[in-house]
Amino acid sequence: MQGPLRLGGREFAAHEPVIMAIVNRTPDSFYDQGATFRDEPALARVEQAVAEGAAIIDIGGVKAGPGEEVTAQEEARRTVGFVAEVRRRYPDVIISVDTWRHEVGEAVCEAGADLLNDAWGGVDPRLAEVAARHGVGIVCTHAGGVQPRTRPHRIAYEDVMADILRVTVSLAERAVELGVPRESVLIDPGHDFGKNTRHSLEATRRLGEMVGTGWPVLVSLSNKDFVGETLDRPVKERLIGTLATTAVSAWLGARVYRVHEVAETRQVLAMVGAIAGGRAPSVARRGLA
């Protein structure tokens, strides 16, 4: 049974989809290739995302893939001041920070973050302790046990969804035991993280099993490799595949969608919600005149 989701000062009903917009404070991100590394374009990106309907801004200071080493100090330099400025400009927006390090988590929470997006599956167990101490939310992700910023090599599962459920539910329960509010804990299947394309497709197909745990489910699908490999499309040509996967995830009950394209995602979620009967059409003229 899905309950309300509470993040920051906001509460979202059980069937209310939530959009999380990605803002990368990195010079080498796989999709935007550093377009929001500097403050001015990054703040413009936040403004656009909020205007288009994003409730959450997810700020990251280290790209997920391999590359030049980024220390905790450098990650904090890229994110902490920016979090503070976004909080100043947008007091009602939910600020998430994509980090696996407890030191960075501590600093961004002090700067005003509402949510810690731990995409690497609890590799630093102290991050959940930081979330509990500050009373903020946390995303508990399945990453297949791989180390941060490494790619899976011939990874295999007897049952990928069983492993996803085992890991994410365990992390979520630990977070609550530490003191994180239950209604502020999300679980994420971790598409591409510790998975090949077939694993990510199966995780999507069986997403209803995650929803059935009662924990709100976050999906991070945007322009990922499993979409690219499925359709044989480069990074900049994966929007249609991403939106198709978003529609399936919405139908199966995902709650939060971490995306690059906010406006397009919002339309997909509105359409799925209307088909499912959870929202009325925006206008109703046909056949009434």
Residue of 78, 195, 255, 258 marked active site:
258
| Alpha-carbon torsion, ordered 201, 202, 203, 206, to 10 deg | 130
Q: Which of 38, 73, 42, 71 is nearest to 59 (CA)?
A: 42
What is the distance between the alpha carbons of residues 238 and 232, in angstroms, rounded to a whole number? 9
Side chain identity, residue 162: A
Report helix, strand and coil shares of the chain as percent, to nearest 5. Answer: 45, 15, 40
DSSP type of residue 218: E
User: Could you tell me the two tokens for 280?
Assistant: 């009325």
User: Could you tell me the two tokens for 246?
Assistant: 């978003």
Q: How many degrees, rounded to 5, is the angle at CA 258 between CA 64 and CA 254?
A: 125
User: Could you tell me the two tokens for 214?
Assistant: 């009662």
Residue of 63, 174, 195, 224 marked active site:
224
Question: Catalytic residue at 258?
Answer: yes
Residue 20 to residues 43, 140, 165, Cα–Cα distance (Å): 15, 15, 22
Side chain identity, residue 257: Y
Question: Catalytic residue at 149?
Answer: no
Which sequence positions are flagged as catalytic? 224, 258
